[in-house]
Amino acid sequence: MLRIWRVGLLSGLALAAAPAQAFVAYVSNEKSNTVSVIDTDSWTVTKTIKVGQRPRGIEFTRDGKFVMVAVGDDDTIQVIDAKTQAVVDSLPSGPDPELFAQDAAGKILYVANENDNTVTVIDLEKRARLGDIQVGVEPEGMTISPDGKILINTSETTNMAHFIDTASRQIVANVLVDARPRFAEFKHDASEVWVSSEIGGTVSVIDPQKHEVIGKVTFEIPGLRKEAIQPVGIGMTRDDKTAFVALGPANRVAIVDVATRKVTKYLLVGQRVWHMAFTPDEKYLLTTNGVSNDVSVIDVAAQKVIKTIQVGELPWGITIAP
Amino acid sequence: MTIRVLAIAALALAAASTAARAADPRYPNWPCTQAKVPEISLAAVWTGPALDDAETKWKDDAKVTALVSKLSARKTPMDEAEKSVKEFLAASAADKTANAKLLFAGLFDTLNAQRSQVMNGLERVSRKQREAADRIREETIQLQALQGAASRDDSRVEALSNELIWKTRIFEDRNKVVRFVCEVPTAIDQRLFALGRVIQQEME
């Protein structure tokens, strides 16, 4: 009896001390038209949700209750209820939505519509369209400054990062970067914006006050053709010390020292790595590998790939519950 | 009728120019959305031991060359291919590492060559499509001029519009084929990476 009690106590303790807090990651699979749900405790796919056609940009609402996914070929953004893990609603975007960004309060959503050169502004509470902003050709990357005042949108064809004043919804500056900019990310202290260029093979570091490129991150991997290095997704740790850059068909993620803008290490992940997301405790970074149809799990502190999880076809975006 | 012809031609050309945007200045004839990587680098797909002379010697091994051609064929399903790799290496005993290197070297060579062929074909077709688009554009202008002429020659108008319909249809069909073939280099990348992964796992 005593032993049973002891065992019970021990297992209770073990449970309480379980190190990994379980989070939930949602991955959009562009080709199979599904979203894979990953449990970060068991590192397995626990559910596959059928969504609209060509799901790409994907993000949790700030309250963690819903997941929004841009389904480009259906010209809308679908809303998944995180509790029931089913599509419950849709948001009015423009044609072919690809990526989007929400303000810090989670009230306003800005959507890049690849096909009509606009950014749609949506009220998330009312789920209604507030208006459109005319931007460059093939808008793609989207990010919002930590204070919510500036929205950055990159245009794949004009090779620019557009700085948009969210109050007036007017473009206030255009900054030229290298060919085919794909993604933009602010430092948490708002002092820099990093913009990746897929064809240019670089990340431009922009001063958001002066609207000037103040530096560039370059990549070189021994034995790899330059063309294979195609930077897309960027993730920065909350202390702004380390950045991770996904390098597409180089099948690697570069770890960059933010202060010196130099690569310190390359990690081999899966094929054609594009986007990534940290777990909220920043212990892990998950990347989507579009061609090998899997997700790599990187241990952030150890700077090592610890796991590969098979998902649907052409995994594109990823978001993790806050 | 002719208005429809003109509309179709205009649509086809618009579609062609959409495909041409966001092009890589290094490869103006590259028609696919995926940025062009001319050849697969070894470092992108192989983290095993250096291949050394396996890079040339694989061709001298009859067993390896036969297996390479079977595994490189897209008609061989991936699970069957992976099974063959495992069986071959399991039967290699002491030569396992050497055989694994030979097999991967053969796959790397063969699939890279296959991929280059497809990519060259894509660029050739894309160049021809651009020329075809120019001709359709010219003939559309000619047709408009014929229709607007004071003494309109109906038989010529009809002949030219029929020709335009035909050319536009071929143009559109080829565009569809190009979009489809653009997936092939990626499918080859995928096959090479997956087979490389199995070979490396079996070596451990």
pTM of the shown model: 0.87
CA A206-A207-A211 angle, to 5 degrees, is 85
Tell me the pLDDT tens digit for each residue of A17-37. 445 578 999 999 999 999 999
DSSP A248: B
pLDDT the model gives residue A147: 92
What is the gyration radius of the CA atoms in chain B, in angstroms? 25
Structure tokens that stand for A72 in this block:
């480009």
pLDDT the model gives residue B8: 64
Q: How confident is the model at residue B47 (pLDDT cuts 50, 70, 90)?
A: confident
Nearest CB to A249; choose among B22, B25, B37: B37
d(CA A311, CA A44): 9
Q: Which residue has the tokens 């590492």?
A: B97
Q: Does A310 touch chain B (CB under 8 A)?
A: no
Q: What is the mean pLDDT of residues A243-257?
A: 97
Taking one residue from A and the other from B, the number of pairs with CB-CB distance under 8 angstroms is 59
Task: Say whether B57 sits in a helix, a strand or coil.
Answer: helix
Half-sphere exposure at residue B77, Cβ-oriented, CA atoms within 13 angstroms: 3
**Type of residue at A90:** S
Q: What is the mean pLDDT of residues B146-159?
A: 88
Do A223 and B39 count as a contact with CB atoms less than 8 A apart?
no
Residues 6+ apart with CB under 8 A from A227: A201, B26, B35, B36, B37, B38
Q: How confident is the model at residue B25 (pLDDT cuts 50, 70, 90)?
A: confident
Which residues partner with A309 through β-bridges? A295
Q: Which residue has the higher pLDDT, A9 or B187?
A: B187
Work out the number of other CB atoms within 10 angstroms of the CB of residue A61: 17
8 Å CB contact between A43 and A27:
no
Tell me the pLDDT tens digit for each residue of A148-185. 999 999 988 889 999 999 999 999 999 999 999 999 99
Number of H helices, E strands in chain B: 8, 0
Per-residue pLDDT at A8 exceeds 60: no
Q: Does B22 touch chain A (CB under 8 A)?
A: yes
Q: Does A30 touch chain B (CB under 8 A)?
A: no
Provide, as residue numbers in chain A, all residues whose Cβ is less than 8 Å from the Cβ of B33. Answer: none
Distance of CA A71 to the CA centre of its chain: 16
Angstroms from B17 CA to nearest CA on chain A: 13
8 Å CB contact between A50 and A33:
yes
d(CA B17, CA B15): 6
Per-residue pLDDT at A79 exceeds 90: yes
Nearest CB to A291; choose among B25, B39, B189: B189
Structure tokens that stand for A262 in this block:
């130099």
Nearest CB to A137; choose among B21, B38, B42: B21
Torsion sign over Cα B4, B6, B11, B15 = positive
d(CA B21, CA A157): 7
Provide, as residue numbers in chain A, all residues whose Cβ is less than 8 Å from the Cβ of B193. Answer: 251, 271, 291-292
